[in-house]
Structure 1
Amino acid sequence: MTPEGRLSAAIDLLHAVLDQPRRPADAISADFFRARRYIGGSDRRAVSDLAWGVLRQRLRLEWWIAGTGARLTPRLLLLAHLLLAEKRKLAEAARLFDGGRYAAGPLDAGEMGVGEQLVGKPLMGKEMPEGARLNLPEWALPGLAARFGATLEAEARAMEATAPLDLRVNLLKSTRQAAQAALRGEGLVSETTPFSPWGLRLAHRTPITGSAAYKDGLIEVQDEGSQLIAALVAARPGMRVVDYCAGAAGKTLAMAATMGNQGRITACDVSVPRLEGANKRLRRAGVHNAETHLLEAGDRWVKRRAGTFDRVLVDAPCTGTGTWRRNPDARSRTGPEDLRELLGKQHEILATSALLVKPGGRLVYATCSLLPEEDEVQVEAFLAAHPGFRPIPLTQAWAEAGLPGAPPTDAPHLLLSPGAHGTDGFFCAVLEKAS
């Protein structure tokens, strides 16, 4: 594809994303390229880089465009990206809209006028409100400011960076050293992660699912922070464990490894497609001690199994603020109404899942959010309403999980962030039920 053709495809992809504001951009992108199999690998990466460049800076680009009085369009977003982020000259950018075969139509007078107003402007202007300047939505600023204080700006920069590709070695089939060697044999150079004893890190995203190491079940794609949450559950051989909001079962897979395929894990979720994906992953990884269960309205499964599990992991649905470097579209896709709704769901899920924990067992609450109201505040409210549970200090939970060294934070619960730890943002609290 020509540069003009790549730009035109990026405009089409952005149209698809803007037309489906509640759907994740990565899912839209997968459908987009699946319908255009004629686009080769290098062109696909170039088109994706253009579109994701816009999504990563969308709040700033939208602020500048709004200042011109123009109506927001994918064409203007890409023009603004070329001028403000890539620092191209207007004439150079306009040539990419040449109207030729497979190219976008020429810029009209109004679009050229917007371009003239944006030429020479900095991407991050001093006159911007704090949200646009930090590239953070206004609704999330109070919580993030409370979380990070003086380091908010540094964390905001880290949340803009491209995330590395973290892998978890499947200990049921390999060792970290052997898996690393297998990847190296396929030309994939990795480093060991600093905190997780199971993790490998590739500096750049790569289609890892096509590798033999992935197909053979030696590795799984999983952020290091997510691996640490699974480790803190401290699931051991012979235990009965619930992954209550399992999704595609990434943490189920990790816990099956710590259990040596002995005992029983039940992966629960409200989504049939997610559980179908979980079953496929479990088979590929060689997991034999896990089953899936669909949570439905009126389901009596929790009541029938109350007080019978050694470990209950609740990886609760949340705003996902900790994953914004990986899912930049979520900054615009999530709003204050979502936060209000999720807080109620988290409260309800915690109360319900606690019924499953047997005396002396543990409830592990986790989110991929950096907002205190989804994290510590939820835990404090739960403990106030459930005096039979007590928090386990992170230092104790870390040591009992057999994790190396000291925890990466001296907080009472695990709190990871892109700026401080190089992981996605995660929170995890370990709560023990009285015997």
Structure 2
Amino acid sequence: MTPAARVAAAIELLGEIAATGRPADRVAADWFKARRFIGGGDRRAVSLRIWAVLRARARLGWWLARAGAAETPRAQVLAWLCLGEGLALPALERLFDGATFAPARLEERERGLAAALAGQPLDHPDQPPAVAAELPGWLHARLAAALGEHAAAELAALREEAPVDLRANAVKAGREEVRAALAREGIEAEPGRWSPWALRIDGRRPVAATAVFRNGEVEVQDEGSQLVALLADAQAGMRVCDFCAGAGGKTLALAAAMGNRGQIVACDVRGGRIDRAAQRLKRAGVDTVRRQVLQDERDPWVKKHKAGFERVLVDAPCSGSGTFRRNPEAKWRLSEAGLAELTALQARILESACRLVKPGGRLIYATCSLLPEENEAQVERFLAARPDFAVLPVAGVWAERLGGAPPAAGPFLKLLPARDGTDGFFLAVLERKGTAAEALHPSTGSG
């Protein structure tokens, strides 16, 4: 592709992302899949520009509004080329030259826009705090309050590109073995900070094209997500339920923690995602997982398997505010009403999933959110309604499973991008009171 064709591709793909409610990475993957003629270098160049624009949406929009320009995909890309890549009008006219596969020629008003943006920085002291943080105003206020003294550093980190973390699949290979195999294929990786499985690579590399990935020895997974699976403390021989399994990332990690011995039931209301997990399970050499599609969170299957699991992981649907580095478009699709719906759903899921936990077993509640209404407040509400559960302080689980102490004090695990180098995560370990013997004769009450 010519440089101009890459710009045209970025404009088209941005338009596709804006027109759908689907995650940007999924839209981009399908877009490129339908255009297999686009080579790897071109694909990377277009992707980098797309994600740069998405991460700078608020600041680009501020500059466009200041110049009196409409916020369209074409205008966003034009503004990014000026503010983010420092291109002047002559260079822009060579890209927007109307040739085959190139964007249409610049109109007079676009030339005026380019002239107004020439030499300007993307960041400007007049930008409101929410714009500078790349957040909707209402969400900026909530996150700033939730993060407290960490707000400045963490909000700055949330607008940057996330690192690429890998998980060595302990079912097939150890971390150093995987690291060496990646090096032989030209990908250097460093051990993670917290997880014994974690490796971090520099930038976006073609991991999926490597033999070590195709053989199922490594998965792409943020280190924070790996920690959630490790702190579930699922052990060999246990019966474990991954209640919101999705595409199976944490299911795979749970299986590795169990040495592929025991039974895991991976549940989700989205049958398509559960079905896609089958390929990942096969590649990883995991044969202890049974997939279960649920109608909703109160599917009759839950009552049928009441008190049947030593561990139940609820990786709940959430705002994803801890992962805005990876999904920058998600923040603009979230609304206060949508957040209220999510917190209500989380409460219903907890109320139902807890019935699966054996006396003496554990319910692990996790989100990739930084908002207390999805985290601490949700756990407090649950415990008020379910006195048969109690918090198991995460420090003890961490010491037993990983050694040492977690990144911050408190009964729950809270991971922050700037401080901890992971996505933002929350985790609470809740133990059901009672003894293992009671599991043989569970109560016939509401459960």
Rounded to whole Å, the distance in 2 between the matches of 1:109 and 1:302 is 63
Rounded to whole Å, the distance in 2 between the matches of 1:119 and 1:334 is 33
Report Cα offsets for 1:355-406 as digits up to 9, x if no partner: 1111111100000111111111111111111111111111112123x21322
Rounded to whole Å, the distance in 2 between the matches of 1:368 and 1:160 is 16
Counterpart position of 1:366: 366
Deviation at 1:329, TM superposition (A): 1.5
Deviation at 1:165, TM superposition (A): 1.4
Rounded to whole Å, the distance in 1 between the matches of 2:63 and 2:336 is 23
Q: Retained in 2: the 8 A contact 1:143–1:372?
A: no
Pair 1:235-2:238 in alignment: no
Rounded to whole Å, the distance in 2 between the matches of 1:399 and 1:429 is 15
Letter in 1 for 2:182: L
User: In structure 2, do the counterparts of structure 1 residues 303 and 125 end up closer, same or farther at CA, with 3 Å as the change threshold?
Assistant: same
Pair 1:139-2:138 in alignment: yes
Counterpart position of 1:202: 201
Report Cα offsets for 1:316-367 as digits up to 9, x if no partner: 0011111111111212222222211101100100111011111111100000
Report Cα offsets for 1:24-82 as digits up to 9, x if no partner: 11111112111211111111111111111111101111122122332221111011111
Rounded to whole Å, the distance in 2 between the matches of 1:244 and 1:398 is 22
Deviation at 1:121, TM superposition (A): 2.9
Counterpart position of 2:328: 328
Q: Retained in 2: the 8 A contact 1:197–1:404?
A: no
Rounded to whole Å, the distance in 2 between the matches of 1:317 and 1:198 is 25
Rounded to whole Å, the distance in 2 between the matches of 1:142 and 1:390 is 31
Q: Retained in 1: the 8 A contact 2:223–2:422?
A: yes
Q: Retained in 2: the 8 A contact 1:143–1:373?
A: no
Rounded to whole Å, the distance in 2 between the matches of 1:177 and 1:6 is 38
SS at match of 1:314: strand
Report Cα offsets for 1:264-303 as digits up to 9, x if no partner: 1100001111111111111111112110100115731000
Pair 1:423-2:422 in alignment: yes
Deviation at 1:91, TM superposition (A): 3.1
Counterpart position of 1:17: 17
| RMSD of aligned Cα (Å) | 1.4
Counterpart position of 1:56: 55
Rounded to whole Å, the distance in 1 between the matches of 2:7 and 2:267 is 42
Counterpart position of 1:289: 288
Rounded to whole Å, the distance in 1 between the matches of 2:252 and 2:100 is 48
Rounded to whole Å, the distance in 1 between the matches of 2:262 and 2:101 is 57
SS at match of 1:23: coil
Report Cα offsets for 1:111-131 as digits up to 9, x if no partner: 222223323333122222211
Counterpart position of 1:337: 337
Rounded to whole Å, the distance in 2 between the matches of 1:143 and 1:228 is 26
Rounded to whole Å, the distance in 2 between the matches of 1:8 and 1:272 is 36
Counterpart position of 2:442: none
Deviation at 1:183, TM superposition (A): 1.1
Runs of 4+ residues deviating >6 angstroms: none
Q: Retained in 2: the 8 A contact 1:136–1:156?
A: no
More divergent stretch after superposition (388-397 vs 293-302): 293-302
Deviation at 1:146, TM superposition (A): 2.0
Counterpart position of 2:156: 157
Report Cα offsets for 1:239-274 as digits up to 9, x if no partner: 111000001111111111221222211000011111
Counterpart position of 2:386: 386
Q: Retained in 2: the 8 A contact 1:183–1:213?
A: yes
Rounded to whole Å, the distance in 1 between the matches of 2:381 and 2:141 is 20
Pair 1:271-2:270 in alignment: yes
Letter in 2 for 1:3: P
Rounded to whole Å, the distance in 2 between the matches of 1:5 and 1:348 is 49
Rounded to whole Å, the distance in 1 between the matches of 2:391 and 2:27 is 40
Pair 1:313-2:299 in alignment: no
Q: How does 1:95-106 map to 2 (within 5 A)?
A: 95-106=94-105
Rounded to whole Å, the distance in 2 between the matches of 1:423 and 1:113 is 42
Rounded to whole Å, the distance in 2 between the matches of 1:359 and 1:35 is 51
Rounded to whole Å, the distance in 2 between the matches of 1:250 and 1:44 is 25
Counterpart position of 2:91: 92
Question: Aligned pairs, how many?
Answer: 433
Rounded to whole Å, the distance in 2 between the matches of 1:171 and 1:361 is 24
SS at match of 2:161: coil
TM-score (norm 1): 0.97
Rounded to whole Å, the distance in 2 between the matches of 1:350 and 1:182 is 41
SS at match of 1:355: helix
TM-score (norm 2): 0.94
Q: Retained in 1: the 8 A contact 2:391–2:430?
A: yes
Deviation at 1:160, TM superposition (A): 2.1
Rounded to whole Å, the distance in 2 between the matches of 1:9 and 1:395 is 49
Q: Retained in 1: the 8 A contact 2:133–2:140?
A: no
Counterpart position of 1:175: 174
Q: How does 1:204-219 map to 2 (within 5 A)?
A: 204-219=203-218
Letter in 1 for 2:188: V
Rounded to whole Å, the distance in 2 between the matches of 1:32 and 1:422 is 31
Q: Retained in 2: the 8 A contact 1:323–1:424?
A: yes
Rounded to whole Å, the distance in 1 between the matches of 2:352 and 2:362 is 14
Deviation at 1:153, TM superposition (A): 2.0
Letter in 2 for 1:62: G
Counterpart position of 2:406: 407
Rounded to whole Å, the distance in 1 between the matches of 2:413 and 2:3 is 45
Q: How does 1:70-81 map to 2 (within 5 A)?
A: 70-81=69-80
Counterpart position of 1:396: 396
Letter in 1 for 2:325: R
SS at match of 2:36: coil
Q: Retained in 1: the 8 A contact 2:224–2:423?
A: yes
Q: Retained in 1: the 8 A contact 2:133–2:159?
A: no
Q: Retained in 1: the 8 A contact 2:189–2:200?
A: yes
Rounded to whole Å, the distance in 1 between the matches of 2:117 and 2:46 is 23
Deviation at 1:16, TM superposition (A): 1.0
